[in-house]
Amino acid sequence: MKGIPVLQAKGLVKRFGGLAAVNNVDVDLYRDQITAVIGPNGAGKSTLTNLLSGDLPPTEGRITLNGNIIGGHSPESIARLGLGRSYQKTNIFLPLTVWDNIRLAAQAKEQHLPFNPLHWLTRADRNARVQARCEKALQLARLEHRRHQVAATISHGEQRQLEIAMTLATEPTVLLLDEPLAGMGQAEAERMVELLLALKAEHAMMLVEHDMEAVFALADNLTVMVNGQVIAAGTPEEVRNDAGVQAAYLGEEAEA
Ligand code: ADP
Ligand code: MG
């Protein structure tokens, strides 16, 4: 039983002038499930991610997150409703320490809480809460040993872990990750796969990823996009055996 989707999108369309970068796409993300989105460059994967996160307004379609209609809302308000995302390019503050990066991400959320006199009265409590959230994110992302290090001095793989820690510090229920393994060596990629598997239990996750080994290791559901459209969706096995997908995409990959 999958239950109720944490995030659901129906009939999403995004047009850039005459180009339908995302063309009538549905998405259902469930807690404790990883949905991987694959497809050639230009298929619309990043655009889809940007629609779900509010970085781009959809031309058409409906998106709900934890029961709230979010289509057209700002990224900040969508984040407050429980959506965390990472970007294809890392988004960290290189001169700051690992801890300060996480702390800033957590505070950014806290500052947007609606005004509440009880919160105002308990500033110390609030600080303690932010502190605890950061500590948990640091641990979940397995970066305790890098806490005091300046972000510029940690490895590329650890910078990607840091980006995930910054996302976790906002306590999301949905995680959207755009190519979290990009540019990683084998060992770094394996560590990230393990980390993502560990995060699965508490989150609904959507992963855009080119690394097929990682995709097949991680995904419960696989969606294949080509030219803005979903050409196949199902379990990894179902998609792997789909003749249309092999012709349009996986076959092409194998030959490359
Ligand atoms: P993917 O992430 O699958 O490689 P993208 O979502 O980045 O694909 O791009 C899908 C298509 O939309 C591409 O043809 C791209 O050139 C186009 N596109 C993406 N963003 C924009 C934009 N802001 N303005 C115009 N065209 C865009
Ligand atoms: Mg992309």
pTM above 0.85, yes or no: yes
Domains of the chain: residue spans and CATH:
1-82+172-256 (3.40.50.300), 91-171 (no CATH)
95 versus 248: the higher-pLDDT residue is 95
Burial call 37-71: b when 16+ CB within 10 Å, e when fewer? bbbeeebbbbbbbbbbbbebebeebebbbeeeebb
Q: How many angstroms is it from 119 CA to the middle of ligand 1?
A: 42
- What is the model's pLDDT at position 254? 47
For tokens 């991610």, the residue is 49
Residue 205's pLDDT band, with cuts at 50, 70 and 90, is very high
Q: What is the mean pLDDT of residues 26-33?
A: 97
**In this structure, which ligand is nearest to the CA of 225?**
1
Mean pLDDT of 124-146: 90
Closest ligand by atom to 42 CA = 1
Residue 247 pLDDT more than 90? no
Q: Is 44 in the pocket of ligand 1 (CB under 6 A)?
A: yes
Among 237, 180, 248, which residue's Cα sits nearest to residue 214? 180
CA angle 121, 127, 129 (to 5 degrees): 105
For residue 113, the SS3 value is coil
Written as one letter, the residue type at 6 is V
Identify which has the larger pLDDT, 119 or 106. 106
pLDDT confidence of residue 3: 82
Among 50, 77, 62, 15, which residue's Cα sits nearest to residue 228?
Answer: 15
How many helical (H) and strand (E) elements, i.e. helices and strands, does the chain have?
11, 10
- Ligand 2: centre distance to CA 176 (Å): 12
User: What distance in angstroms lies between residue 164's CA and the mean position of ligand 1's atoms?
Assistant: 24
**Model pLDDT, residue 88:** 64
Asked if pLDDT for residue 140 goes beyond 70, the answer is yes
Range 206-227 average pLDDT:
94
For residue range 59-97, what is the model confidence (pLDDT) as tens digits? Answer: 999 999 999 999 889 998 999 899 999 876 667 999 999
* CA of 113 relative to ligand 1 center, distance in Å: 33
In one letter, which amino acid is 180?
P
The reported pLDDT for the residue numbered 2 is 72
Q: What is the pLDDT of residue 256?
A: 41
Q: Is 217 exposed, middle or buried (0-12, 13-18, 19+ CB in 10 A)?
A: middle
Q: Mean of the per-residue pLDDT values for the chain?
A: 90
Atom of ligand 1 nearest to the CA of 43: 3
Query: Atom 22 (ligand 1): residue with closest C-alpha?
Result: 16
Q: Name the residues around ion ligand 2, CB cutoff 5 A.
A: 45-46
Contact call for residues 2 and 33 (beta carbons, < 8 A): yes
- Does residue 251 surpass a pLDDT of 70? no
Taking alpha carbons only, the member of 85, 43, 13 closest to residue 223 is: 43
Residue 233 CB-half CA count within 13 A: 13
Ligand nearest to the CA of 21: 1
CB 48 within 8 A of CB 23: no
Once rounded to an integer, what is the mean pLDDT over residues 184-212? 94
Whether 41 lines ligand 1, by a CB cut-off of 6 Å, is yes
Copy the structure tokens of residue 251: 């076959």
Q: Which residue has the higher pLDDT, 134 or 249?
A: 134
Q: What is the pLDDT of residue 120?
A: 57
Percent of the chain with pLDDT over 70: 89
Alpha-carbon distance 197 to 200, whole Å?
A: 5
Pairing type for strands 33-38 and 221-226 reads parallel
Per the CB < 8 A criterion, the answer to whether 164 and 195 are in contact is yes
Q: Above 50 in pLDDT, residue 230? A: yes
Quote the pLDDT of residue 255: 44
Rg (alpha carbons) of the chain, rounded to whole number: 19
For the ranges 71-75, 117-121, 179-183, 187-191, the lowest mean pLDDT is seen at: 117-121
**Strand-by-strand arrangement of the 60-65 sheet:** 19-29, 7-16, 60-65, 68-69
Substitution site in 19, 37, 47, 176 for ligand 1 pocket (most atoms within 8 Å of beta carbon): 47
Ligand 1: does its nearest atom lie under 6 Å from the Cβ of 39? yes
